[in-house]
């Protein structure tokens, strides 16, 4: 069901960025269900900031940054849960929606840091320019370039280590 919000602007942004936002969340969490929740939460936060985020590029940057931050929080929560489960010696929670064991490449991606996955996604999946990626990550262009190189190197190392 489509939702008209803020003169349809949020919906418009969802149509434009909903798919990549969801996919970024999938890449960062490795869980489709969590990715849906995180993407929705990111749009909620974006909706709360629409008054100040008039520039579409800035809005998109805010959205991707929020997804990265929420995914990081999710990762921390997951680690806490695992630690608690380990202490209680309870069995692992079955997660039907995990994308985890799809293939070797996916596992290699999952071993990268959130920042590395985010920068790879922005630069290689969305084909963002260095300037746009830098804006989304709130980094300088040189720092973004350096992060991209490090992320690509890390991925190559992960894949090389597997082979």
Partner 1 sequence: MNDDLNISSLLRSRLDALEPPDSLPSETAARAKRRRRQSAALSVLGLVAVGIVAALFANSVLGTDLFDAAGREVAAHRLTPSRVAELGLCARDDHHPRSLINNLYRSVLMLQDGSDPFPYVPVKRREIRRISRTVWTFRASGVRFEARTVSPRKDCWVLASVTTVGAPPPVEKLTAEESRVSFDLDWGKAQSADVFLSDRPSEAEAAVAFSDTPGSAVAFSVYLFVPTEQPFFASVALSRNGHVVSLEQGWYRAP
Q: Cα 75 from chain centroid?
A: 11
50: Cβ contacts below 8 Å, ≥ 6 apart: 6, 9, 10, 59
Can you tell me which of 28, 47, 61, 64 binds partner 1, judged by CB under 8 A? 47
Query: Does the protein bind partner 1 through residue 69 (CB under 8 A)?
Result: no
Contact with partner 1 (CB under 8 A) among 33, 48, 81, 84: 48
- Which residue from 16, 23, 97, 98 is in contact with partner 1, where contact means CB under 8 A? 23
- For partner 1, the binding residue among 28, 39, 60, 133 (CB under 8 A) is 39
Q: What is the 3-state secondary structure (H, E, C) of the chain?
A: CCCCCCCCHHHHHHHHHHHHHHHHHHHHHCEHHHHHHHHHHHHHHHHHCCCCCCCHHHHHHHHHHHHHHHHHHHHHHHHHHHHHHHHHCCCCCCCCCECCCCCHHHHHHHHCCHHHHHHHHHHHHCCCCHHHHHHHHCCCHHHHHHHHHHHHHHHHHHHHHHC
By beta-carbon proximity to partner 1, the closer residue of 50 and 141 is 50
Selected binder of partner 1 within 78, 114, 152, 154 (CB under 8 A):
152
Using CB under 8 A as the binding rule, the residues of this chain from 71 to 130 that contact partner 1 are 99, 102-103, 105-106, 109, 120-121, 124-125, 127
CB 14, min distance to partner 1, A: 5
Residues 152/141, Cβ–Cβ less than 8 Å: no
Q: How far is the CB of 82 from partner 1 (least distance, A)?
A: 24
In the bound state with partner 1, the residue whose beta carbon lies nearer, of 85 and 96, is 96
Interface with partner 1 (CB under 8 A)? 1-6, 10-11, 14, 18-19, 21-23, 26-27, 32, 35-36, 39-40, 43-51, 99, 102-103, 105-106, 109, 120-121, 124-125, 127, 152, 155-156
């Amino acid at each position: 069901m489509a939702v008209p919000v803020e003169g349809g602007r949020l919906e418009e942004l969802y149509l434009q960025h909903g798919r990549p936002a969801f996919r970024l969340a999938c890449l960062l969490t490795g869980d489709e269900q969590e990715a849906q929740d995180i993407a929705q939460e990111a749009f909620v936060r974006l909706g709360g900031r629409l008054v100040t985020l008039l520039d579409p590029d800035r809005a998109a940057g805010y959205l991707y940054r929020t997804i990265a931050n929420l995914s990081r929080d999710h990762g921390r929560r997951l680690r806490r849960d695992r630690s608690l489960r380990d202490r209680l010696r309870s069995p692992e929670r079955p997660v039907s929606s995990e994308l985890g064991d799809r293939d070797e490449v996916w596992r290699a991606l999952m071993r990268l840091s959130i920042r590395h996955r985010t920068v790879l996604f922005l630069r290689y999946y969305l084909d963002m320019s260095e300037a746009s990626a830098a804006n989304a990550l709130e980094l300088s262009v040189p720092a973004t370039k350096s992060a991209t190189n490090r992320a690509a190197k890390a991925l190559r190392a992960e894949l090389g280590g597997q082979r």
